Amino acid sequence: MLTAFEGLSHHDAAQILGVSIKTIETRVYRARKLLAEQLDTDMRPSAR
């Protein structure tokens, strides 16, 4: 959220949250992947 909506760098977000930059990178990656999966599922026609 801090990097996507607040426009903070990974470095700044890491400092605010008290975690490593690598942790921020991992969290952003996982969040984007989950969002893409959810959007893909929501866009599929429902099987009836």
The pLDDT score that the predictor gives to residue 44 is: 75
CB atoms closer than 10 angstroms to residue 31 = 13
Measure the CA–CA gap between 33 and 48, rounded to whole angstroms. 27
Confidence of residue 43 (pLDDT cuts 50, 70, 90): confident
Q: What is the mean pLDDT of residues 9-35?
A: 96
Q: What is the mean pLDDT of residues 24-48?
A: 86
All structural domains of the chain with their residue ranges = 10-43
CB atoms closer than 10 angstroms to residue 12 = 15
Greater confidence (47 vs 25) lies with 25
* Token pair belonging to 25: 């990178």
* Token pair belonging to 46: 């429902």
Q: What is the mean pLDDT of residues 2-29?
A: 95
The pLDDT score that the predictor gives to residue 35 is: 92
